[in-house]
Structure 1
Amino acid sequence: MIRSALGFLCLALALGAQPVPLKIATLVPQNSSWFRILKEMGDTWERASGGRVKVTFYPGGRMGDDGDVIRKMRLGQLQGAVLASPGLAEIDRSVYALSIPLAFDGPGEVYGVLDRMRPGLERAFAAKGFVILNWADGGWVRFFSRHPVASPQDLRRQKLFQWQGDAHTLEIWKSAGFNAVPAPAPELTTGLQTGLLDAFLTSPQVVLLMRYHEKAPHMTDLRWAMILAATVVRREAWDRIPADVRPALLKAAQEAAERLRRDMAASEASDLEALKRAGLKVVPVDAAARGQWEAMLRGAHDRIRGDYVPAPAYDEALAARDALRKERRR
């Protein structure tokens, strides 16, 4: 009996000594600076925890697109993810307030608004069982296409990729007269090759890394929106990490986000130059064409504010933006 009790105790101690696994998925390509920084963050986590946390990354969409990843997190198959705005919006659509088309002048404005909205956003995610460890971005997204796009009418003649699973955004595009086609993000390359898709929104860095420009050689010279990103873990997984370890992990995650922000800001110009050298053609958008885009967005305002972005978050974001602009003018 004593031997049984001792055996049970040893087993319990051995189990207790097992590191907490953190399996983290992302669409970020393995050969990108993004992934290098994430991998270094994971190495820091393991060192800072003294081996009590074991991090495994699954880059390049190996676990599916963001919707698949979120489902696997909820099932406990994954503990975390680096999600872009469409994935974050599957948890809470308020995050789209930072990606309202043509609403922000630059990254300083986006992050200034995020600073004001972050406590509320993080509470909303926490209420749904997710902990946000950091915020970063994937750069400014533009339209890339097989055929030139300067105006909304040009885009309406092409098949526009839309993230699968986001029915609200899909319906907004369709109601505005666009031929939006839902598909998983990892299938964009195949869609361009087969003609199922002609156009899409993403950043120059993603295009360069994924070589999308080989099938979509035109870029519209219009900063549409910044694509936000965040490292997210399930609350249950975060709570399994020893309490004395969590502050160091959070600090490393936030330092990684700062590096990612600087990297994205610094690389945009060089990414665009590399794409131009590879044959990308930049399609200019003059004042008249920009006016058409703005008119199209005004026509969809009631759906963007409400269906795309929950109205309270939409109003909060634009109020914060206007306050920042007022402060700058002083």
Structure 2
Amino acid sequence: MGEKLFTNKILIAVVLSLLVLLPFVSDSRFLLTMMIQVFILAVYGMSYDLLLGYTGIVSFGHALFFGTGAYSVGILLSKTKEPGLLPLAILIAVAMSVLVGVIIGGLSLRVKDVYFSMITLAFAELFFIISEKWSSLTGGNDGIPSIPVPAIFRERIVFYYMALLFLIAMYLFLRRLVNSPLGRTLQAIRENEHRVESLGYNVLQFKLLSIVASGVVATLAGAMWAIFQRYVNTSVLGLDRTVDALLMTIIGGTGTLIGAVFGSGVITFAHEWLSSLSTVHPIFERWLLFFGILYIVIVMFFPKGIVGTIRDRWIRR
């Protein structure tokens, strides 16, 4: 009860804060753009938290799903030049993510731990190479520029509200999922897989469902990313994108969902702030080093992530 009360209060506080700050944020195109990125990447982080925080699966190829959503939207809309086909593009992206999730899960879940992680990494790298070499379809390294999207998505303030509603909807969906019997079983598998299997549950099947559900949410986040950026390149399939999801989950707190919002905010603004300092002093040209120090400090003071550590202290009180 304490954890649920804490999570609900955090969610309400975050949403209200964002809505209150909206008039100030909308005056700056830069800040508005950053907040939209935080919302979309937070959904991507929550999808990874379903794997890592609730099922205990460590994947190094989660960017594959994010890239599937982005490229599905980018390819269909750029080839047809019909922004009205956006709903169809999203449906195709979801269908492809389910197919990819079933194939990857079916082939890789038979091995465990680091071997599973390596197989997911191999699949992600395979798709990365395909997107890089199949330039006639994906644009190769140059990517797909000027993706035509419906006019309503070109208004930053409108897209801000859409991204915020998208974040809330995905959070409520995932929260309902992890609190359902399916979600409780996934958490039991995370704690003791052999005991769950001895009780007669098909662990492989439940893990597969987790991968597919996580992949669909990540794909939707990738589709929103392509709509927002109106540009897609191979970076959406790179290992860095998976590392971002992993960092967002750990910084915010594994097994919290809402922690991905804080993790996304820290990573997005830290990247922008630290990289901008490179123009101030040459020492900041190695800004990734300072980001690593920031990450170490967060882990030291928040060993269970920002939300996870605060939640534990809240419950103890």
TM-score normalized by structure 2? 0.30
Specify which structure has the bigger relative contact order, considering alpha-carbon pairs within 8 angstroms and separated by 6 or more residues. Answer: 2
Higher helix share: 2
